[in-house]
Amino acid sequence: MSHRPPTRRRLLQGGAALAGAGALGAPALLLAQSGPIKIGHLTPMTGFLGALGEYAVQGMRMAVEELNAAGGVNGRPFELLTEDSVNPQVASSKAQRMIERDGVALLCGEISSASALTISQVAARNRKLFLSIGARSDTLRGKDCNRYTFHVDIPVTVMVKAVGQALLRDKLVQGKKIFSLTSDYLFGHDLAKVAKAFYAANGATSVGDELVATDLTDFSPFLLKIRQARPDVVSTNLGGNQVTNFVKQYAEFGLPYPVVGFNLNTADAWAAGEGNLGGIWPTVWHHELKTPGTQAFVAAFQKKYNRLPENHAWIEYVSMKILAQAMRETRGAETDKLIAYFESEAKFDLLKSRPGYFRAWDHQLMQEAYPFTVKPKGQAKHKQDFLLFGEPVPGPNEPLELLAPTKAENTCNMA
């Protein structure tokens, strides 16, 4: 094949094309470096986690508004794009669309562990940061970990150990017969696995183990099975408003067996109502913490939304502040620089008594958790005041990693 020598006309056309590319490309590049920082935010706003998603959206929006009012990050405002993740398939497609069509700098959010898994896979394929805010499955930090995903909420193992300490103290494990109910999706299965290991290691036996569909609202068949099994303890590994529905119906049945649970968000506890809820549960944060940061956040949230914030409002709020700190320090929103900053184990103000940090090897945020139960009858000052929160775990003189999975227990391999 012969090659024609370039003519003056072809050289001029090539030069014009290059000039055009420069004229179009340079402003686009400058805009990407100086325009708004787009944040792709996915969280369930419908379904059995929808009530929690409402708090999540409010907490995230409040943080973005505060940051923008203060000038954004390095003079760049944030542009928040929030979508209902609905289910894992929808979450995956929306995450991909946010990257391809909307040009987001990163992805964040989620409560469902199953949806968080699909988002993390999209993030890894596209080499974009995903800050997984409210998903708790150990699997996400274990065999399904990747270098692009960081985890803010406490994992399943911490939740079980936080409650387990109280159960051992109250002698509700050794020699006891346990009837378990488990939400039938990734998070529930993960929670049940760790809970069963805890009971087995501490001398309890199982007399019932039931999977519960996430859309179930009538628990009467399971309550009848509990009555027939006559356990010493009823143990729940349920998620979202499943817990609310269960404890209400359990109270109506009048069963005498104590209930313990390894997952309960404060919004779902409030919805259960005083008189229905009992037992011991874990939480990652609560509005009664006596720190200046929490008190200021609670006051601002109440003023803006006319209700108390629950733990998903708080965790989205501090997660956005974590992102802003990382972007200030790295002077931008470049994925590799943000990952390196998080892996440096930089400290972050979580509005708690101690700052938190991400472990470099599994990308889990190290922080305090709290067990809670119910106040004696008659002590509540209002309808959301019946929860009794315990001291932080680990304790003030203990390392934050005390309750977290160790390297030996974790199958995470970032490579």
pLDDT digits (tens, 9 = 90+) for 153-193: 999 999 999 999 889 988 999 999 999 999 999 999 999 99
Report pLDDT digits (tens) over 257-312. 999 999 999 999 999 999 899 889 999 999 999 999 999 999 999 999 999 999 99
- pLDDT-derived band at 315 (thresholds 50, 70, 90) equals very high
pLDDT at 100: 98
Tokens of residue 246, six digits = 């269960």
pLDDT above 90 coverage of the chain, percent: 88
Give domain status of residue 4, yes or no: no
The pLDDT confidence band at residue 13, using thresholds 50, 70 and 90, is very low
Write down the pLDDT at residue 34. Answer: 73
Q: Tell me: do 237 and 375 sit in the same domain.
A: yes
pLDDT at 48 over 50: yes
Give bridge partners of residue 365 from the DSSP assignment. Answer: 358
The residue among 256 and 29 whose pLDDT is bigger is 256
Answer yes or no: do 234 and 378 share one domain. Answer: yes
At residue 29, does pLDDT exceed 60?
Answer: no
In whole angstroms, what separates CA 313 from the centre of its chain? 11
* Residue 239 resides in a domain: yes
Residue 382 lies inside a defined structural domain of this protein: yes
Q: What total number of domains does the chain contain?
A: 2
- Between CA 311 and CA 115 the distance in angstroms is 19
Same-domain check for residues 138 and 162: no
Rounded to whole angstroms, how far apart are CA atoms 286 and 385?
11
What's the mean pLDDT in 316-340?
A: 98
| Confidence at residue 23, expressed as pLDDT on a 0 to 100 scale | 42
Residue 410 lies in a domain: no
Same domain? For 171 and 222 the reply is: yes
Give the mean pLDDT of 131-151: 97
Domain membership of residue 398 (yes or no) is no
pLDDT score recorded for residue 415: 77
Q: Say whether both 306 and 165 belong to one domain.
A: no
Q: Which domain holds residue 275?
A: 157-286+370-389
pLDDT at 150 over 80: yes
Q: Is-contact 331 72, C-beta < 8 A?
A: no
One domain, residues 250 and 380 = yes
| Cβ neighbours for 157, distance < 8 A, ≥ 6 positions apart | 138, 194, 403, 404, 405, 409
Average pLDDT along the chain: 92
| 237 and 165, same domain (yes or no) | yes
Residue 127 pLDDT level (bands cut at 50, 70, 90): very high
pLDDT in tens, 191-212: 999 999 999 999 999 999 999 9
Lookup result for tokens 């892996």:
343
Using alpha carbons, select from 173, 131, 172 the residue that is nearest to residue 149.
131
259 and 200 belong to one structural domain = yes
Mean pLDDT confidence for 28-50: 83
Are 162 and 132 found together in one domain?
Answer: no
Residue 278 falls inside a structural domain = yes
Token duo for residue 363: 């990308």
Domain annotation covers residue 22 = no
- Residue 174's CATH number: 3.40.50.2300
Burial call 308-339: b when 16+ CB within 10 Å, e when fewer: bbbbbbbbbbbbbbbbbbbbeebebbebebbb
Tell whether 21 is covered by a domain. Answer: no
CA torsion 94-147-403-206 (nearest 10°) is: 60
Check whether 4 has a pLDDT greater than 80: no
Residue with tokens 């200030």: 328
- Whether residues 301 and 352 fall in one domain: yes
Task: Return d(Cα 80, Cα 303) in angstroms, integer.
Answer: 22
Q: Is pTM beyond 0.85 here?
A: yes
Residue 347 shares a structural domain with residue 381: no
381 & 354 share domain: no
Q: What is the pLDDT of residue 33?
A: 64
